[in-house]
Amino acid sequence: MKTANDFRLSVNSAEQSSGRSLRVVRARAMGWCFGVRDAVAATRGEANPSSVTVLGELVHNADVTAELAGRGFRSLPGPGDAGAVRTAAALVTAHGASRGDLARLRGAGLRVIDATCPLVRRVQEAAAAFAAEGRFVVVVGVPGHAEVAGVVGDLPEDRFAVVRDAASVHPWPHDRIGVVQQSTTDPATAAAAVAAVRVLNPQADVAVVDTVCKPTRDRQAAVRELCATLKRGPGPATVVVVGGTNSHNTARLAALCEAEGVRALRVAGAGELDPSAFAGVRVVGLTAGTSTLDAAIDAVEARLRTFKISPPFVHELSNTEQTDWRRWTAAEWAACFQANGVRRDDPAGPGAIPWPCPAGERRPTLSAAERAATLDSIRMFQLGESGTGRFLQRCAAAYVAAGGDPDYPAALREFLAEENRHAAELGRFLDAEGVPRLQRGESRVAGAFRASRRLVPASRLGLEWAIVVLLSAERVAIAYYAALRQATESPALRALCRNVLRDEVRHLRFQSAQLAALRVGRGRVGRAATAAAEGAALWGACAAAYLAHRRVFRRAGMGWRAVRRRARASV
Ligand code: SF4
C-alpha cells in the first residue's frame, strides 16, 4: 500500500500540447506613432548627448530610456525645474511643456530642443484659446500626466479642472466652459465626459475641441476590430498589449479590450510573456502602445509563435496517480491528500501562492474589470468550498457499519480538509481585495448544492447520492477555476486556481473510485438508472453554475456549451 511519502515523489507536468503553435493576429494599426518617432529621432541626431538633459520620460519605453542613459543623456523628472538642469541643453519630450516652463528654461540660458508632438501642441493651443475667451477649461485626461501638466501649466489654479472620466465631472460655477482632451484619451470616454459636463452644468455655454490624436484613434479602432475578430474565433479571446507600465495609451488599449469582453495581457517585452497564461488559447491578438518600438513588438510576436496550443487547464499529477488511481484503497487516498497538504504548505514549493500581502491585510490586485466580473462569484465559491461535511461523515459511518472500507472516513476527512484549504485561500484572497466573505445562508447556489446532497437520508445509498452531487459540483468547479484563471492577471489568484485545479482532478478521481466501489455488483438496469441520475445532476450543476458565474465564464470566452463540455470531460 502507498503511504504519504510515496506521494511526495516529484510531480511531473501532464500538460499536453497539440503540437500546433499559437496563431497571432496583429491589429491593423499599432505601436510607434510619428510624435514618438520624431522625439526619438531628435535624440539620435544629437552629437553630444552628455550636454543634454531630457526633461521627463522621452517616451514610456524602458528600452529607449536605457538607450538614452547608455549614450550619456542626463535626465530630470520633468520640465518644471530649470534651475536643476546642469547641462547646456534641455530636451522637452513629445508630451510637451507649458509656455511658462519653456520661458524659464530659455531664461536660464539653456539651448532648448523642443520635441513636443504637434498634436500635443494642438491640445495646448485649444486650452489656451478657451482660457483667452474667458472660459473655464476642462481637460479630460489623467491628472498629473506630463502632457496634461503642460496643457494646464499656464492656467490660473481656479480656471481649470482635469477629469479622468464622466464620473469625475462636477458642477462648476461658470457660465462658459471649454473642454479639451489629453491626446490619448479613449474617444468614448471623452464623449461621456463632455455629456456629463453639459448635464451637470446646464447654466454654462459648453464649447468642445476634439483633441484626441489620429494615431490614438486609429489604434483604438483597430483594437476594437481585433477584439470582434477574436470573439468570433475558437478558444478564449485574448489580446497581448505591448507597452510601458506607465504608458497611458497602452493602458487605454488594454482597458478597451476588457470593455469588449476580451482578456488583455499587458507586457513591456517578450521576456514578460508567461506561457501558462495562454492555456486554452488558439488565436491571440497583438497590439501595442504608441511608445512601443517595432523591434519589441516583433520579439513578442516571435515568442508567442513558439508557444504550443495547450489544453485549457493543467493537471499536474504524478505518473503513479495518472495510471493507478482506479485501484487505490481509501487509505491510499488519505495518504495522497496528506502528502498534497504537505506540498501545499511548503512556502518555497511549486504550489506556493505569491500573496500580495500578509494574511488579513488588504492589497487589491484585480483590475476594475476583473473585480466586476469575478468577486461576487469568488465569494460564492469561497462559501461553497467551506463546511464540516457532517452529513457526508454520517453517510460514511453508515457505509462502514454496512461492511464498507473502514479507512474511508479518514480519506473523506482529508478530502474535506483540502476543500477547506481552498476556502481559506479564497477567503484570504477576498480579504486582500477588501471584500467581505459570504456567511452561511447568503448564497442560494451554495445552499441548493448543500440541500441536494441531503435528498437521501444518511445511509449507504445516501452516501452514493451525496457523492453524485459532489462529483457534479467538482466537475463544474474544474470548468470554473479554469475560466477564473483565464479571467485574471492577478498572480495570486492565478496560482490559487492552478492549485485548486490540480486538487479537483484528484477529488474527482477519489469520488469516482468510491462510486465504483459502492456500485460493485449492480445490474444493467441499475447502472443505466445510475448513469441517468448522474447525467441529470451534472446538467443541473452546470446550469446553476453557469447562471451564477456567467460573468467569469464569459470573460474567459466560455459559453454554456463550453462549460458543459469542460465539465463532462474532466476525469
Ligand atoms: S500619441 Fe498622438 S499626441 Fe502623443 S506623441 Fe503620438 S501622435 Fe503625438
How many angstroms is it from 107 CA to the middle of ligand 1? 28
Phi, psi (degrees; rounded to nearest 5) at 417: -65, -40
Point out the ligand 1 atom lying closest to the alpha carbon of residue 33.
6
Q: Contact, 113 vs 52, CB < 8 A? A: yes
Point out the ligand 1 atom lying closest to the alpha carbon of residue 147.
4
Q: Which residue CA neighbors atom 2 of ligand 1 most closely? A: 213
CA-to-CA distance for 58 and 99, rounded, in angstroms? 18
Of 61, 125, 182, 216, best ligand 1 pocket probe by most atoms within 8 Å of the beta carbon: 216
In the chain, CATH 1.20.1260.10 covers 361-568
Question: Residues in the chain, how many?
Answer: 571
How many angstroms is it from 78 CA to the middle of ligand 1? 18
How many angstroms is it from 203 CA to the middle of ligand 1? 34
How many angstroms is it from 108 CA to the middle of ligand 1? 28
| Ligand 1-lining residues (CB < 6 angstroms) | 33-36, 94, 117, 119-120, 183-184, 213, 215-216, 249, 290
Instruction: List the alpha helices (DSSP H) in 118-213.
Output: 118-132, 146-152, 187-200
> Which residues in 400-438 are b (16+ Cβ under 10 Å) and which e?
beeebbebbbbbbebbbebbbbbbebbbbbbbbbebeeb
Q: Contact, 143 vs 168, CB < 8 A? A: no
- Which element (helix H / strand E) includes 62? helix 62-71
Of 117, 182, 252, best ligand 1 pocket probe by most atoms within 8 Å of the beta carbon: 117
Point out the ligand 1 atom lying closest to the alpha carbon of residue 117.
8
pLDDT in tens, 247-301: 878 888 988 887 787 888 888 889 888 887 787 788 899 999 988 888 899 999 9
What average pLDDT does the structure give for the chain?
86
Phi, psi (degrees; rounded to nearest 5) at 352: -65, 140
Q: Who's near 303: CB < 8 A, 6+ residues apart? A: 270, 273
pLDDT at 460: 76
The CATH class of the 23-31+215-306 domain is alpha beta
pLDDT in tens, 401-447: 888 888 888 888 989 999 999 999 999 999 999 999 988 877 787 77
Q: Who's near 472: CB < 8 A, 6+ residues apart? A: 534, 537, 538, 540, 541, 542, 567
In the chain, CATH 3.40.50.11270 covers 35-116
| The CATH number of domain 35-116, selected from 3.40.50.1000, 3.30.420.40, 3.40.50.11270, 3.40.630.10 | 3.40.50.11270
In the chain, CATH 3.40.1010.20 covers 23-31+215-306, 119-212
Selection from 193-197, 249-253, 280-284, 357-361 with the highest mean pLDDT? 193-197
pLDDT in tens, 92-106: 999 999 999 999 999
Q: Who's near 137: CB < 8 A, 6+ residues apart? A: 127, 130, 131, 152, 155, 159, 160, 161, 177, 178, 179, 180
Q: Which residue CA neighbors atom 8 of ligand 1 most closely? A: 35
Domain 119-212 carries which CATH code?
3.40.1010.20
- Beta-bridge partner residues of 266: 241
CATH 1.20.1260.10 for the 361-568 domain, yes or no:
yes
How many angstroms is it from 95 CA to the middle of ligand 1? 8
Point out the ligand 1 atom lying closest to the alpha carbon of residue 34.
7
pLDDT at 108: 95
Point out the ligand 1 atom lying closest to the alpha carbon of residue 213.
2
DSSP 135: P
Of 183, 210, 219, 292, best ligand 1 pocket probe by most atoms within 8 Å of the beta carbon: 183
Here the cell at position 277 is 497564461
Helix 491-518 × helix 408-433 angle, to 10°: 160
Phi, psi (degrees; rounded to nearest 5) at 459: -175, 180
Q: How confident is the model at residue 310 (pLDDT cuts 50, 70, 90)?
A: low
Rg of the chain, C-alpha, whole Å: 29
CA-to-CA distance for 482 and 487, rounded, in angstroms? 9
Q: Who's near 189: CB < 8 A, 6+ residues apart? A: 140, 165, 166
